[in-house]
Amino acid sequence: MALNPNEQAFFRAMEAVHTDDTPRLVYADWLEERGDVDRATFIRLQIEASRCGSDPGRKHLLEKQADQLLRKHYRRWTAGLPEWAMQGWEKKKWHFTRGFPDVEWQTGRQFLGDAGMLRERMPLGQIWFTSLGRTAPRVFTSEHFGALRLVHLCGTRLVDGDVAVLAASPQARQLIVLWLSRRWTSTPAQANRLTDTAAAALARSPNLPALKFLSLASYRTVTVAGLRTIIESKRLANLQTLELEGGSQCPGSPDLGTAFASKRCQLRNLRSLNLSRRKLGDEGVIALAKSPHFQHLESLDISDNGLTDAAVVALVRSPGLRSLRRLTINGDSRLTDVSAHAILADGRDWDHVKIDSHRMSVPMSQAIRFKLGPASPQEMR
């Protein structure tokens, strides 16, 4: 198939503004002018469907129309694409989003071998890597890595040196979402093995100015001191979502909450924060409640931190947390109806509240669930 340089320019424009549909719609107009009406219509239908969150009936109709066109032209629209890139999708079929095939599951070797070919045929904005190992340094310095806006690196056998290469690579400058949690599956051999050294490399990196989402969860070898380097990093000040979920063997202490209240905290644009299972205790959560840096925080998960009602009351009454609309506190068995009363009596328009405690009365638990718990935190993202 002959490659059109005009199409290449469109694809690069789509990569540059991955979440903006404008270049895709301009490309659809260009296709229609050239006589490819069905392809243009398909792109427009999928884009319109992606915007119909509040109208499921309209969304279903648009998706049905798009699927009819995809069935008609499937072979032509997927010609030349590697079969391995369909891994993970039901029935080994390509899945399209906003007009183009998704290429999500990929090893380091596959990326190095085929990323250039894929980018000749489509925009390449996100990758969920399944394995990297020794290929990681070459992947992170590849010119094609620079096309990515979302990268999933959980459970890809990374070590500190790999993250140092990523942090030093100019190809990372366009990254918006970076998943770096220890595992993605239950396979220990695939787990990342990162320490405070990796956290410090990210914190010092001049190559992550666009980063808005960072997940650094479940590491036993990233200490509170290592997490503090993230919290105090001026270079990561644009972060809006920070996932630091811990675990029974993960480091944590009230000092982590105190770090967010410190004058040295640079993460003042956070919208979502996960500090579950970090041994915060009441002291750490009350410190969070006193932080002057959370004016924009909308979602907070502090599950399984050994809390009492005092911590919940402090959060609800905090003048610095008036933007908070989603609160998750599971696994803290000492919470009582006092916490429920404080939340229900609060005047804000909560989107979602989930509290799980056997000391809370059934009527109060039901009141929280039915009035304030329509969806899970994952569904709210």
Give the start-to-end residue ranges of the domains of the chain.
1-95, 103-251, 262-381
Fold of 262-381: 3.80.10
3-class secondary-structure state, position 129: strand
pLDDT at 227 (0 to 100)? 98
Whole-angstrom distance, CA of residue 218 vs CA of residue 174: 26
For the chain, the first-to-last Cα distance in angstroms comes to 40
Q: Count the neighbouring beta carbons within 10 Å of the beta carbon of residue 251.
A: 20
Contacts (Cβ under 8 Å, ≥6 apart) of 325: 298, 299, 348, 349, 350, 351, 352
pLDDT for 348-358, tens place per residue? 899 999 998 88
Alpha helix (H) ranges present in 265-331?
281-290, 309-317
- Whole-number pLDDT of residue 376: 40
pLDDT score, position 236: 98
CA distances (Å), origin 371, targets 40, 247, 367, 368: 44, 30, 6, 5
User: In this predicted structure, what is the pLDDT of residue 86?
Assistant: 67
Chain length of the chain: 381
Same CATH fold assignment for domains 103-251 and 262-381:
yes
pLDDT, tens digit, for every residue of 10-24?
999 999 998 899 999
User: What's the Cα-to-Cα distance from 213 to each of 51, 132, 149, rounded to whole Å?
Assistant: 22, 21, 11
| Of the candidates 205, 181, 194, 262, the residue with the CA atom closest to the CA atom of residue 228 | 262
| Whole-prediction pTM | 0.90
CATH topology of domain 103-251: 3.80.10
Per-block average pLDDT, block size 10, for the chain (381 residues)? 79 92 97 97 97 89 96 92 67 83 86 92 90 94 96 95 98 97 77 97 98 97 98 98 95 97 97 98 97 97 97 97 96 93 91 90 88 50 34
Q: Which pLDDT score, from 0 to 100, does residue 239 have?
A: 98
pLDDT of residue 94: 82
